[in-house]
């Protein structure tokens, strides 16, 4: 049974880039599934990744903060997290 909170869409041809919280490039990846709350990605490398990162969708030209929630079979699952509010 699917436990997702949001409907997902397949997007096999979309490429994205992963960055760490300091905006340093980590790896390119293919977006396999995308929803309002997260995504399933296929990184182009098996290098270790931090749990907290940013996904930059090149097609949509947007960047979303995310947390890795699962890793397996050359793919990762991420959940989008809200941006912290700017300190005053």
What residue spans define the domains of the chain? 24-80
Measured between its terminal Cα atoms, the distance across the chain in Å is 44
Q: What is the reported pTM? A: 0.80
pLDDT in tens, 22-54: 999 999 999 999 899 999 999 999 999 999 999
- What was the pLDDT predicted at 60? 82
Q: Which of 9, 18, 11, 14 is nearest to 71 (CA)?
A: 18
Q: What mean pLDDT comes out for the span 49-73?
A: 93
DSSP H or E run through 30: strand 25-35
Say yes or no to pLDDT of 2 above 80: no
| 4-29 pLDDT, tens digit each | 555 555 555 689 999 999 999 999 99
């Amino acid at each position: 049974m699917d436990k997702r909170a949001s409907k997902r869409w397949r997007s096999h041809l979309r490429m994205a880039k992963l960055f760490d919280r300091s905006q340093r490039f980590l790896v390119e990846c293919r977006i396999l599934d995308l929803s309002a709350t997260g995504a399933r990605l296929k990184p182009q490398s098996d290098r270790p990744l931090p749990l907290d990162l940013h996904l930059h969708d090149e097609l949509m030209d947007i960047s979303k903060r995310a947390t890795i929630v699962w890793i397996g079979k050359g793919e990762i699952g991420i959940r989008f997290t809200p941006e912290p509010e700017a300190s005053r």
